[in-house]
């Protein structure tokens, strides 16, 4: 039996309840993993509220790290006793142990502890596809990155610095802006005290940026489009402020033949080999010291509701983990 955080109805954090669930044995292509730490992400909020619907009741959580307890037939990249971490579907990481598909579970290097592993997989793999797999980026390019002091944002700031990319961040307080700057952002705009669109125009001499990476959604979408240079790419990869309203595709032509995409991590990691390669690239960034994972909040699994409240109130910086044991 494994203690597991589930929801039986969509709604606020009060919907969480802890139950004991049988774990079972892995079938073909599966592993059983005993978790040491679980990650917290905004996608978990979208699933809890029903923005991304699930069949209920359902456990939540998309990333964790722990030890492989058993492997099913056909699994060759993992064995019993291996340290491992993942960002993977289906949801269900908020638990002490689970049986799950093995393809997106990755061997965790010895130099990376379990909390770091749990805190970085979904966020770090997201940064990987944003910078390497969505549109060509090269040294000297300029990116506007919203929520630059969050879990994904702080990794992105460091990733950009390591690869010679100018990153203009936005954040909601001066302290968060300083955190982004300390982690490699070239500039950071406090969007509560300044118009980020006007500030980006000043910082780029009116030229605009090559790429916008926007996980905020509704509140920043239109302004983000206006920050792009002609032929620029808008990457909308989240909805923290709510879903983006329907878009008249014609505005992209009027604003300079812009490109718009709405990617998801789980498309990029659906292929086993691609997932393992992306994880290896992320681990290399972390073990080399180019990227440091900031774990700024820790909650016990029993306090998962409070963890969600804190995340939704925008009171977090860096990554948040749920601890087990």
In the chain, the percentage of residues whose pLDDT exceeds 90 is 95
pLDDT of the residue at 143:
98
DSSP-derived pairing of the beta strands 58-59 and 16-21: unpaired
Tokens of 290: 């180019």
Say which CATH architecture domain 2-122+266-323 belongs to.
Alpha-Beta Complex (3.90)
Which pLDDT band, with edges at 50, 70 and 90, does 79 fall under? Answer: very high
* DSSP labels, 128-158: HHHHHTSS---TT-EEEESSTTBHHHHHHHH
Give the model confidence (pLDDT) of 268-286 as tens digits. Answer: 999 999 999 999 999 999 9
pLDDT of the residue at 216:
93
pLDDT of the residue at 107:
98
pLDDT of the residue at 298:
97
The residue ranges of every structural domain in the chain are 2-122+266-323, 135-262
Residue 242 pLDDT > 90: no
Which pLDDT band, with edges at 50, 70 and 90, does 293 fall under? Answer: very high
pLDDT of the residue at 45:
95
pLDDT of the residue at 318:
87
Residue 325 pLDDT > 80: no
Task: Flag the least confident range among 20-24, 240-244, 249-253, 262-266.
Answer: 240-244
Residue 137 pLDDT > 80: yes
pLDDT of the residue at 57:
97
Measuring CA to CA, which residue among 5, 3, 4, 8 is closest to residue 56? 8
Residue 26 pLDDT > 90: yes
Averaged pLDDT, 107-123: 96
Q: What is the distance between the alpha carbons of residues 172 and 156, in angstroms, rounded to a whole number?
A: 17
Cβ proximity of 275 and 297 under 8 Å = no
Measuring CA to CA, which residue among 149, 100, 89 is closest to residue 125? 89
Positive or negative: CA dihedral 54, 59, 62, 67: negative
pLDDT of the residue at 273:
97
Give the Å distances, CA to CA, from 40 to 261, 270, 288. 25, 21, 25
In the chain, the percentage of residues whose pLDDT exceeds 70 is 100
Averaged pLDDT, 297-312: 96
Give the Å distances, CA to CA, from 270 to 78, 216, 277. 18, 24, 12
Question: What fold is seen in the domain 135-262?
Answer: Rossmann fold (3.40.50)
């Amino acid at each position: 039996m494994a203690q597991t955080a589930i929801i039986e109805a969509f709604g606020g954090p009060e919907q969480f309840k802890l139950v004991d669930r049988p774990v079972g044995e892995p079938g073909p292509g599966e592993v059983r993993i005993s978790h040491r730490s679980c990650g917290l992400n905004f996608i978990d909020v979208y699933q809890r509220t029903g923005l991304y619907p699930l069949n209920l009741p359902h456990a939540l959580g998309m990333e964790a790290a722990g030890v492989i307890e058993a492997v099913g037939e056909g699994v060759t990249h993992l064995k019993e006793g291996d340290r491992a971490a993942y960002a993977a579907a289906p949801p269900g990481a908020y638990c002490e142990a689970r049986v799950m598909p093995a393809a997106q579970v990755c061997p965790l290097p010895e130099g990376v502890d379990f909390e770091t592993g749990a805190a970085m997989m979904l966020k770090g793999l997201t940064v990987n596809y944003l910078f390497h797999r969505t549109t060509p980026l090269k040294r000297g390019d300029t990116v506007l990155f919203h929520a630059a002091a969050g879990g994904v944002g702080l990794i992105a700031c460091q990733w950009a610095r390591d690869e010679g990319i100018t990153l203009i961040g936005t954040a909601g307080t001066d302290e968060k802006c300083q955190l982004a700057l300390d982690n490699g952002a070239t500039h950071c705009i406090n969007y509560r005290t300044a118009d980020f669109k006007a500030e980006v125009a000043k910082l780029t001499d009116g030229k605009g940026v090559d790429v916008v990476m926007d996980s905020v959604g509704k509140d920043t979408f239109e302004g983000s489009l206006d920050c792009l240079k002609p032929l620029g790419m808008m990457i909308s990869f989240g909805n923290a402020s709510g879903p983006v309203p329907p878009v008249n595709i014609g505005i992209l032509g009027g604003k300079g033949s812009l490109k718009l995409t709405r990617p998801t991590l789980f498309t990029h990691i659906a292929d086993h080999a691609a997932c393992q390669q992306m994880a290896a690239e992320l681990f290399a960034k972390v073990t080399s010291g180019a990227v440091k994972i900031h774990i700024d909040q820790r909650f016990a699994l029993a306090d998962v509701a409070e963890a969600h409240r804190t995340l939704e109130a925008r009171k977090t910086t860096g990554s948040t983990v749920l601890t087990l044991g």
